[in-house]
């Protein structure tokens, strides 16, 4: 299995950006897993552009399949005193696959502070059951540990389409940084699958995120995610996701638009 660390180490310069080949163990069906595509866009921006402040928010549009030899090309859209906007296009054998808009912003003093996203109670990860119950999962999901911390599971036809689960990289050498966090945060299947009567194809269309804090160094790498499908209609689902470090630090608030084929 190509670890996350090895996958990033394989990035090589191409004209105007970086390139890498999508290996089978990072695929979701015929395309590179969306979290990996997003992470590659972010990593390309961080390597290509000097002195970027911390990532504050990002939007990703998954416009086509990311297959074969991938190339990521960044462009600085605007850079001010404290904020930089960077666009990154990821293209593969079938053309453009992912378009990213990244907002980086330096910290500044403020008279206001508020944390309205407390981590819900959850059992210790060591006591939890494998999220997939030992069954089938997409290729890329073997790169992560995911255990059920309460809520629904795919195909259970539960009343509330919501997951609550602990997750982390299996690659214990993966850095506790934003690229690894972005790769991790898309690992669970869409929460709409709780209401699926049987397996059916799914595809994330867009993913937007707000970065609340840097992932803490040290510890065992576990993060708690709550993912909830708020609506499902006309073959699409709107999904809200929140992610916390094991110590309760809020890391990310995100939304996804997901195409469903059931």
pLDDT of residue 199: 84
- CATH code of the domain made up of 121-262: 2.40.160.210
Which CATH topology does 1-106 take?
A: Thiol Ester Dehydrase; Chain A (3.10.129)
Q: Is the pLDDT of residue 170 over 90?
A: yes
- Residue whose C-alpha is closest to residue 187's, from 256, 249, 101, 114: 256
Q: Do domains 1-106 and 121-262 have the same CATH topology?
A: no
167 Cβ neighbours under 8 A, 6+ residues apart: 131, 144, 145, 146, 147, 184, 187, 188, 222, 223, 225
- Residue whose C-alpha is closest to residue 20's, from 42, 37, 3: 37
pLDDT of residue 124: 97
Q: What confidence tens digit (pLDDT) does each residue in 46-98 have?
A: 999 999 999 999 999 999 999 999 999 999 999 999 999 999 999 999 999 99
Every domain of the chain and the residues it spans? 1-106, 121-262
pTM summary value: 0.96
Q: What confidence tens digit (pLDDT) does each residue in 190-249 have?
A: 999 999 988 888 999 999 999 999 999 888 999 999 999 999 999 999 999 999 999 999
Q: For residues 176-189, give the mean pLDDT.
A: 97
pLDDT of residue 69: 96
**Cα gap 242→50, rounded to integer Å:** 30
Strands annotated E in the chain: 12-14, 17-21, 27-28, 31-32, 55-62, 69-79, 83-92, 95-105, 129-130, 144-151, 162-169, 202-211, 223-233, 236-245, 250-260
Average pLDDT for the chain: 95
Band of pLDDT at residue 158, cut at 50, 70 and 90: confident
């Amino acid at each position: 299995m190509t670890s996350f660390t090895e996958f990033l180490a394989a990035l090589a310069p191409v004209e105007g950006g970086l390139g890498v080949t999508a290996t089978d163990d990072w695929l979701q069906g015929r395309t590179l897993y969306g979290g990996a595509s997003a992470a590659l866009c972010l990593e390309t921006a961080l390597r290509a552009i000097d002195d970027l402040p911390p990532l504050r928010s990002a939007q990703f549009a998954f416009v086509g399949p990311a297959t074969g030899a991938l190339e990521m090309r960044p462009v600085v859209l605007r850079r001010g005193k404290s904020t930089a906007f960077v666009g990154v296009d990821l293209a593969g054998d079938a053309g453009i696959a992912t378009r990213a808009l990244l907002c980086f912003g330096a910290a500044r003093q403020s008279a206001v502070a508020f944390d309205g996203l407390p981590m819900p109670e959850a059992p210790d990860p060591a006591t939890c059951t494998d999220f997939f119950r030992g069954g089938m999962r997409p290729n890329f999901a073997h790169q992560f540990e995911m255990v059920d911390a309460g809520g629904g599971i795919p195909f259970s036809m539960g009343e509330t389409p919501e997951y609550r689960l602990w997750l982390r990289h299996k690659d214990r050498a993966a850095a506790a940084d934003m690229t690894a966090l972005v790769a991790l945060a898309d690992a669970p299947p869409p929460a709409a699958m709780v209401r699926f009567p049987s397996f059916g194809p799914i595809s994330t269309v867009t993913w937007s995120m707000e970065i609340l804090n840097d992932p803490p160094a040290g510890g065992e790498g576990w993060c708690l995610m709550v993912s909830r499908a708020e609506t499902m209609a006309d073959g699409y689902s709107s999904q809200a996701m929140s992610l916390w470090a094991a110590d309760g630090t809020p890391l990310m608030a995100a939304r996804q638009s997901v195409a469903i084929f059931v």
